[in-house]
Amino acid sequence: MGSFLDLPVPERLRPLVGVGAVLVLWGVLARLMDRGLPIGIVIRGAVFGSLVALLAIGVVLVYRANRIVNFAQAELGSVAAVLAIQFKLVWGWNYFVAVAVALVLAGAMGGLIDRLVIRRFHRAPRLILTVATIGLAQILNALSIIIPLMIGGLAAGTFATPFAFRFDVHPQVFGGDHVMVMAVVPLVMLGLVWFLRFTDYGVAIRAAAENGDRANLVGIPVKRLSTLVWTLAGFLSATAVILRVPLVGFASFQSVSGAGNALLLRTLAAAVLGRMESLPRTVVAAIGIGIFQEAAAWQYSDTDFVDALLVGVILIGLLLQKDFFSRAAETGISTWKAVREIRPVPAELRDLPEVRWAGFGLTTLLTVGVITLPLWASPSQEQAAALVAIYAIVALSLFVLTGWAGHISLGQFAFVGFGGAACGVLYGRHGWDLMLAVPAGVVFAAGAAVLVGLPALRIRGLFLAVTTLAFAVTAETFLLEDRYVPWLIETRLDQPVLWGRFPLSEGWQQYFLCLIGLLAAVVAVRNLRAGRMGRAIIAVRDNEANAEAAGIDTTRVKLAAFAISGGLAGFAGGLYVINQQGLFSDAFGAAVSIRMFSMVVIGGLGSLPGAILGAVYVRGAEFFLPPEYELLASGFGILLLLMFLPEGLGGLVYRGRDAYLRRVARKHGLVVPSLLADERVEDPRDQPTVDVMIAEGDVVLVEPGPTEPQRRPEEVRT
């Protein structure tokens, strides 16, 4: 199925058909809405929708060039907008000079990002490169906050276009800022159309977007075109941000404030409705979303429910075009196949005294450290340690959903909110025992996760990430907001007394409760991985077709992965509301969910201890760093680890373990193939060599010994 744009209408008549459909829809809405739909509201919506269209065009161009969803599109321009503001208000530059310089810098930054980051992931799965853009978004968002503090301090005054005239179109007053948008955006779009249609580079970009491999074969410089596309994306983003700042302020682009994620949701919705390939569709969808939002604000003086409706718009758009998006996902290799699970200690070494005593010693040190923490920690540090344990449980839930099942979830902390909300209401308002309220929260969150996971039956990889982000934004603004669902939110809880004997009023008591909860979650996840369901989840991730051929019910396994992940998050939510003595709606924003996802990527998707290390890293950054530097640490953590250590912090720990095991193996004269396969030595002569003897098609391998020098290729005996 498709939209009216797919009807068999001649190409030249399609714009007229579209305009006619819009006019008919406008007339219907004007009659149905109590306050009508005045022309001024429509114009205002078109103004804001056109700015969203610029961002969405950048998303589509990057997707066509790299087959990824660029979650950093809005942030590409935010840094340039900050510089333009500083140039004008702090350094006193002319408005047009400041804007021109900022636009050039934005384009240069986009090209630089392609050269330094995107090319490093040229052969990586597209899902991993999409995650890299999440790290980029956090870095650029942090820089947009830090730069004013480093260059001249905070700017005094307002950043506005140098036009003072105004005019009224009932019921809206339009000024120079609106007129600038009306003039500049169409010119930018026309210029982009001319560039893509009538220049050699534009035609090459379109050809490479159709088939990159074929473009390479005919000599088109695909990598150079990717740099050009990212340059255009930076320019478009900066144009949108600079034009939007005088209208709604700079905070609307900052993810740390939450407003930036709502804007990203509208941008992705327009791109999805445009099938991530059609620029005209994308522009029409973005303007329609803008008009819809302003109409809702005019009718109800509230746009929060627009986010909830956009979730439905995105899902319908993806499901109606599922065949196209499924093919796109396949061409992008959209799973975590490149992320390797950490192997256990080889059986050959497991019973050696050095290995057993080393494991016992590390376990003892860790156990003593976590048990004695309340003896030397301050109350604030005990509170931070309890939150680390809760974050670690959330990390385990993402470890199951992303590391095992291969699904990106950018709304995981919303499941924590649902579990905590159910637990808090049942315990605080209805008097349930805590030992019943927490499991009820687990079930409630698991059910919510299954509902969110239903699209995973039809939508995979990159596009499921879009739906989970939409869910996170909706949960923040509507589903977990006490103004709309007061029956689900309990803002004040008394600290419970477990079984009438164990109070939880002190920080150390909360810490041990969360620590016990973490240990229970670790045991549950380890047992799940060793069982049939854990193996089935990973089999479906690696090769769904083969899993179905082996008799695995892939539908049930996918939904089970979401249910298990949501249940773990709901368990963390129950501990969270007890720790915080209530549920506060502003604690479950999309920005927090994105940080949670960053946590498991930094910790490592291939190891369970790595997920816990990621929680320590992220919570430590929150505890010790200001919000902007926390984003910087998280973003750089994602990028650097994906570039140089895909296994994450957990992989770094296991590399140290394997280096020790190699020394033990050499000491005992043992050959452990799994360790030798991963060994990286500086001198190739340190590796054992193999003589190759070929006789009548048979290959015989002869190992000469560890001290024999490696032979050059011409010395190999045949």
The 10s digit of each residue's pLDDT in 39-50 is 888 899 999 999
Count of C-beta atoms within a 10 Å radius of residue 258: 18
Per-residue b or e along 533-572, where b marks 16 or more CB atoms closer than 10 Å to that residue's CB: bbebbbbbbeebeebeeeebebeebbbbbbbbbbbbbbbb
Parallel, antiparallel, or unpaired: how do β-strands 698-702 and 691-695 relate? antiparallel
Residue 217 phi/psi, 5-degree rounding, is: -65, -35
> What's the pLDDT score for residue 238?
93
Query: What would you report as the CA-atom Rg of the chain, rounded to the nearest whole angstrom?
Result: 28
> What's the pLDDT score for residue 697?
40
Stretch 162-173: mean pLDDT: 83
Stretch 198-208: mean pLDDT: 76
Give the list of residues 6+ apart from residue 463 with CB closer than 8 angstroms, or none. 69, 272, 318, 325, 329
The residue among 711 and 354 whose pLDDT is bigger is 354
The residue among 300 and 529 whose pLDDT is bigger is 529
The 10s digit of each residue's pLDDT in 533-552 is 999 998 888 888 888 888 88
The residue among 605 and 350 whose pLDDT is bigger is 350
> What's the pLDDT score for residue 340?
60
Q: Domain spans of the chain?
A: 38-154+170-331, 353-648, 683-718
> What's the pLDDT score for residue 111?
92
**Does residue 715 register a pLDDT over 60?**
no
CATH architecture of 353-648: Orthogonal Bundle (1.10)
Stretch 90-100: mean pLDDT: 90
Domain 38-154+170-331: assigned CATH number: 1.10.3470
Give the list of residues 6+ apart from residue 532 with CB closer than 8 angstroms, or none. none
What's the rounded Cα separation, in Å, for the pair 487 and 588? 17
What's the rounded Cα separation, in Å, for the pair 315 and 139? 29
Find where tokens 């695909």 sit: 222
Stretch 591-618: mean pLDDT: 82
Stretch 294-312: mean pLDDT: 75
> What's the pLDDT score for residue 155?
57
User: Per the structure block, which two tokens stand in for 401?
Assistant: 């959903």
Q: Which of 80, 84, 109, 82 is nearest to 99 (CA)?
A: 84
**Does residue 463 register a pLDDT over 50?**
yes
What's the rounded Cα separation, in Å, for the pair 104 and 102? 5
> What's the pLDDT score for residue 2?
45
- Residue 208 — pLDDT band, cuts 50, 70, 90? low
> What's the pLDDT score for residue 21?
62
Out of 429-433, 456-460, 486-490, 649-653, least confident range: 456-460
> What's the pLDDT score for residue 264?
83
- Residue 698 — pLDDT band, cuts 50, 70, 90? very low
Q: Whole-prediction pTM value?
A: 0.81
Hey, is 178 helix, strand or coil?
Answer: helix
The residue among 260 and 179 whose pLDDT is bigger is 179
**Does residue 655 register a pLDDT over 50?**
yes
Percentage above 70 pLDDT, the chain: 79
**Does residue 277 register a pLDDT over 70?**
yes
> What's the pLDDT score for residue 212?
58
- Yes or no: say if 396 and 522 are a contact pair by the CB < 8 Å rule: yes
The 10s digit of each residue's pLDDT in 186-196 is 999 999 999 98
**Does residue 680 register a pLDDT over 60?**
no
> What's the pLDDT score for residue 213?
59
38-154+170-331 with 353-648: one CATH topology?
Answer: yes
Going 548 to 546 to 412 to 140, the CA torsion angle's sign is negative
**Does residue 440 register a pLDDT over 70?**
yes
> What's the pLDDT score for residue 426?
92
DSSP per residue, 344-405: ---TTTTTSHHHHHHHHHHHHHHHHHHHHHHHH--HHHHHHHHHHHHHHHHHHHHIIIIIIT
Per-residue b or e along 607-643, where b marks 16 or more CB atoms closer than 10 Å to that residue's CB: bbbbbbbbbbbbbebbeeeebbebbbbbbebbbebbe
- Yes or no: say if 398 and 611 are a contact pair by the CB < 8 Å rule: yes
Percentage above 90 pLDDT, the chain: 22
The residue among 5 and 518 whose pLDDT is bigger is 518
Report whether the peptide linkage leading into residue 704 is cis, meaning its omega lies within 30 degrees of zero: no
Parallel, antiparallel, or unpaired: how do β-strands 502-503 and 497-498 relate? antiparallel
Stretch 421-428: mean pLDDT: 91
- Residue 679 — pLDDT band, cuts 50, 70, 90? low
